[in-house]
Amino acid sequence: MNKIIRQIGEIWQYRELIRNLVVRDLKVRYKNSALGVAWSWISPLLMMIVYTIFFTVFWGNRDIEHYPVFLLCGLLPWQFFSTAVMQTTGSIVSNAHLIKKVYLPREILPISIVLSELVNFLIALPIFFSLALISGASLSWTVLLLPAIMLVQLAFILGLGFMLATLNVFYRDTQHLLGVAMQAWFFLTPVFYPIRIVPQEARLLGITFNAHLWLRRLNPMASIIASYRELLYYGIPSGLDFFLRTAVTAVAVLVVGYVIFTHFSGRFGEEV
């Protein structure tokens, strides 16, 4: 425990470097781009338009009122999650020149990337609120609880990022496999559909189970996205029990991921 406290204290001492890395990442992202930071708004809007056309025009689904608002409050946190995890996985390998030349706590590399994606997520959030107001969707006081969900998601992303970044140092196929896994994970997460449509009773390989219940239990992002939607779209925080379980899971993933990362970080210089 004392060792972990010392490591966290060391990370805090390097907070200025973390800030510089976050700023660098944001500058590189929009370098030589005519629209610059506007891409943080344009990208989710374009995705929202594509999904809205597909599911309301081609699919014929008109049961969900204000579907673009419904979609965007799931799409924004998913993009934050998927981009942050993908980038964090390669954070150690892609910064091999830093690790080999200077001393710095290895943890600050994945941390800086996750914080950079968090800033990008915060920049994109006004698009959701603007769309909600323009479309006439009502917003409730529950939006004030948004920071709680963001903290839980941040913990989950960091923990998962620590694990995958460590694995990617020793097995470079990790980042390639993750791209495929993210596609499957996307469809198993209620981003473009409401979680309530997942059946209470499903059958797989002759086994009957509660698909709705196990989706939320085994997929933390399903619970996180559902929580975002409850606050931003429905205005009713009804899944408090699932959210609390997800919060505990996210903290556990963060602790385990950090322990794994620090245990193997001494070998990163040799492997990269």
3-class SS of residue 234:
helix
Tell me the per-residue pLDDT of 110-151, one tens digit each, with 9 for 90 and over: 999 999 999 989 988 888 888 888 887 778 888 888 999 999
How many residues does this entry show for the chain? 272
Which residue matches tokens 């809205």? Answer: 52
What is the residue extent of each domain of the chain?
A: 2-271
Tell me the per-residue pLDDT of 164-188, one tens digit each, with 9 for 90 and over: 999 999 998 898 899 899 999 998 8
pTM, entire model: 0.88
Angle, CA of 210, 245 and 159, to the nearest 5°: 110
Per-residue pLDDT, averaged over 195-201, amounts to 79
| Amino acid 267: pLDDT | 85
Residue 166, H or E segment? helix 146-170
| Amino acid 50: pLDDT | 77
Q: Is the pLDDT confidence value at 60 over 60?
A: no
In this structure, how many other beta carbons lie within 10 angstroms of the beta carbon of residue 175?
A: 18
List, in sequence order, every residue forming a beta bridge with 207; answer none if it has no partner.
204
